[in-house]
Amino acid sequence: MDVQEAVAEGTASVENGEVKRDGRKQFSMGAGDILEGKLIYDGSLHADGRVEGEVRVSGNIDVASGANVKALLEGANVTLKGTVEGQVTAHDKLTLGKNARLSGDIVVRRLQIDDGATLNGHVRMGDVEHQASGQ
């Protein structure tokens, strides 16, 4: 399996192959990038391509409007603007942007759904303590 690094453009420092913005690690995928499999990352993820599998990050997850995700997502704050199919766990807040399409069960502390977004699945709200890890 080939491994590629996806790096965001802009002003950011690069240390040991990781992009750091404001002192935080961020893995950034472009529109043509594909991630298949399992990603466990101590930082944040910006996805603007295709993701399939499982993504667990300690930071935030941002799914761009053109992204297509079929995966379990777990992060501190999760912002969806694209199409997502799978279980989503946001340890703090899940935000569905106006064009977001989410099909899957969610576990969140707080939930924001913008006008125009769709959600099909079960919602469990309250304190989140890595509940999705054992499921």
Domain boundaries, the chain: 34-134
**% residues pLDDT > 70 (the chain):** 77
* CB-based contacts of 134, cutoff 8 Å, min separation 6: none
Residue 64 pLDDT more than 70?
Answer: yes
pLDDT of res. 24: 77
Residue 126 has pLDDT above 70, yes or no: yes
The whole-number pLDDT of residue 20 equals 62
- CB atoms inside a 10 Å sphere around CB 6: 18
Cβ atoms 50, 66 nearer than 8 A: no
pLDDT higher than 90, residue 75? yes
pLDDT bracket for residue 5 (50, 70, 90): very low
> Which residues partner with 88 through β-bridges?
73, 106
Residue 132: pLDDT above 60? no
